[in-house]
Structure 1
């Protein structure tokens, strides 16, 4: 199975916008209620048996099972009799909201994410239609259950042999958008490490440094507009909260944030296509992005958006048949790519790699990218050797296609 997600801007009517906003608010309340139910259950199990809190305790019977996705879906069906406004929303849309909460707890347990938070008014911005009827697309319009046909701006051709599996409606400051998940019943061959190979090193001065000597300077998306953002936020703080002027000022802040995100993403896609034009095999560092974002240069690391860039580069390589692999990032800037001798740590101000053992001199980031290339080729060569000996079934490639 092969799936892609196409994004289109919707052109809903005023009545459809009112329905979307009403559904978002109802789903937000359902999400908060389900989260509170789970949180109270955990709190009731975390109190000490020989002491009580000075403030309050959550008293829930000991035989009460832990709230799960299935139990909360059953409770949602019974709650529709008590709260008739829940009937205005499609049942599967409400179930997807509970599934979203379940995924948040799964990420907390398995991926060390934070505890899920309650959604304030306006913070719940998307709903999902997991199933659509027959032929849901027609003349730049999508047919949504219980809503009907909603027109969208078709900026790209939609393959006729694809099946629309689900639609996500997203609210942004620039308008409403539809994420169409298309699926094909085909088997896509995985790319093989052939042709010219390059190593890529990312940094704060040079956004990417390639092993062939090319360096691309890092644009400062957030830092360059930080002064303007500060001015807009000051204007928001001087307005009466929840007033019309406050909402207008808040909208300007949101637009600037969206502009920063769009320019960063556009730059990442352009660099990704440029790298795919350069080689057929690309190796990058497997960085600890969470640790880097919490360091002294965390703001600049987040502004560079390395995590998003690696994800976009992997997607671009998958679409264009380019082999992509991450390698160990330890001491890439401390090893000479020419002789392999460890040269020791370099200060942030030291931008030139000069090996005392062999005399090899080049840019620091380029030397690190060459080390990444050497490690990538060694990993691929070892895998091919094991494949020839029959020790592995196939190359260590991703098994599922990434979402777009």
Structure 2
């Protein structure tokens, strides 16, 4: 489980961490270059020469795997002081990060690791700690020192700190830490139980539930698009690479950060309100990336349906609600009352069944179909479900699990508690 905090390093600490990020980026690209060179050298047969590839590496050279490149890293540090200046476990994690991407590529068959250009490597990891690095309102990072932290929630009792990831945002002007904590507890899966609702999302209404609730879609990006356009125009008129150009780019990045945070904050509140209404929630298994490629792509990306579905799934897990997806095909062309199918187009916003006479809003009718499919696919238990007691877990650690469930995890959801608030309103922690 991950806890996210805002940190406030000094200027010297920021300069040091930025230099570490640049060194990690160069190391990542160097390891990837060795990997691609080894693969390119094997594209041509040994006994012939190709116009595009040549066999330029000896057959005795092994594949540059994870352990092989870790051994090379030890040799590189003897001759390159910039690598030695970075914490050893941080550089080892860079190699591991590359080979995790490589293994993912082999598993999926797509998404070959790419070189990181300047500014695209935005985090580094301290993978292990013997004791908690948090000291009062500060966090102690190896070779960096004590850094002020906004500890807006305490680490739950019974959990230990496993690792700390330092994350840079807004072109190195905002810094966060993602603290990974763990405890020897088991969290049972939640079965389908209690009251069930279906949720249908769209551009006319952000969502409509089977109970008749309709929420209008807020336009986070569109409302600030004119301001973003102005800042981008000003940035384009600056000399690229100058101080004024960098300041203008920071303003653009901060506005994007504000839009992202306000959207996530609103979606989290909607997800909690849905969990207040039902015990089992069903949504469609549609691929929203297809919607983002149409003529309404800007509005689909602004609504961020895929992100909302992921957040809703996480909120249901931490609150003990059941979440599942159902088949999306034909949900808007089927009557929720009798099951008869009808031909329609997007201009028809009211559903009236010719077979049984059922009449309702089109989005609400689709949500009812989603609910019916979910109930058929996942039979519910009778009454209110409660997690079984685990006798092997202490009461202190068990209570810590419920405390930890109230926190959103993941690097993509940083600073959610202060969405859209400037630094002067958030305030720095007391030293």
TM-score, normalised via structure 1 length: 0.89
Post-superposition CA distance 1:374-398 (Å, at most 9, x none): 11101112999xxxxxxxxxxxxxx
Cα distance in 2 for partners of 1:289, 1:108 equals: 22
Pair 73,104 (structure 1): closer, same or farther in 2 beyond 3 Å: same
Shift of 1:9: 0.7
Cα distance in 2 for partners of 1:41, 1:204 equals: 48
2:152 corresponding residue in structure 1: 155
1:361 corresponding residue in structure 2: 359
2:25 corresponding residue in structure 1: 28
1:129 aligns with 2:116: no
Is the Cα contact below 8 Å between 1:132 and 1:145 reproduced in 2?
Answer: no
Is the Cα contact below 8 Å between 2:191 and 2:380 reproduced in 1?
Answer: no
Cα distance in 1 for partners of 2:26, 2:311 equals: 34
1:373 corresponding residue in structure 2: 371
Cα distance in 1 for partners of 2:44, 2:291 equals: 36
1:282 aligns with 2:281: yes
1:391 corresponding residue in structure 2: none
Cα distance in 2 for partners of 1:57, 1:365 equals: 60
- Provide the secondary structure at the position in 1 that maps to 2:39: helix
1:76 corresponding residue in structure 2: 73
Is the Cα contact below 8 Å between 1:40 and 1:58 reproduced in 2?
Answer: no
Shift of 1:79: 0.7
Cα distance in 1 for partners of 2:118, 2:375 equals: 51
2:38 corresponding residue in structure 1: 41
Mean Cα displacement is larger for which, 263-272 or 141-150?
141-150
1:95 corresponding residue in structure 2: 92
Cα distance in 2 for partners of 1:227, 1:244 equals: 24
Is the Cα contact below 8 Å between 1:132 and 1:144 reproduced in 2?
Answer: no
Alpha-carbon RMSD across the aligned residues, in angstroms, is 2.2
Shift of 1:51: 6.6
- Provide the secondary structure at the position in 2 that maps to 1:381: coil
- Provide the secondary structure at the position in 1 that maps to 2:135: coil
Mean Cα displacement is larger for which, 26-35 or 136-145?
136-145
Q: Which has the higher contact order (CA 8 A, sep 6+)?
A: 2
- Provide the secondary structure at the position in 2 that maps to 1:333: helix
Cα distance in 2 for partners of 1:342, 1:44 equals: 58
* Runs of 4+ deviating beyond 6 Å: 48-51
Shift of 1:270: 0.7
2:394 corresponding residue in structure 1: none
Is the Cα contact below 8 Å between 1:240 and 1:246 reproduced in 2?
Answer: yes
Cα distance in 2 for partners of 1:175, 1:37 equals: 33
1:52 corresponding residue in structure 2: 50
Post-superposition CA distance 1:45-104 (Å, at most 9, x none): 3458867346x7573334433322221111111111121211111111111111211222
Shift of 1:314: 1.2
1:343 corresponding residue in structure 2: 342
- Counterpart mapping for 1:5-404 below 5 A: 5-47=2-44, 52-53=50-51, 59-111=56-108, 113-173=110-170, 174-344=173-343, 346-381=344-379, 403-404=409-410
Is the Cα contact below 8 Å between 2:2 and 2:179 reproduced in 1?
Answer: yes
Mean Cα displacement is larger for which, 221-230 or 320-329?
221-230
- Provide the secondary structure at the position in 1 that maps to 2:333: coil
Unaligned runs of 5+ in 1: 385-400
Mean Cα displacement is larger for which, 299-308 or 375-384?
375-384
- Provide the secondary structure at the position in 1 that maps to 2:134: coil
Post-superposition CA distance 1:318-353 (Å, at most 9, x none): 111111111111111111111111213x32222222
Pair 146,383 (structure 1): closer, same or farther in 2 beyond 3 Å: same
Shift of 1:223: 2.3
Cα distance in 2 for partners of 1:157, 1:180 equals: 11
**Number of residue pairs matched by the alignment:** 383
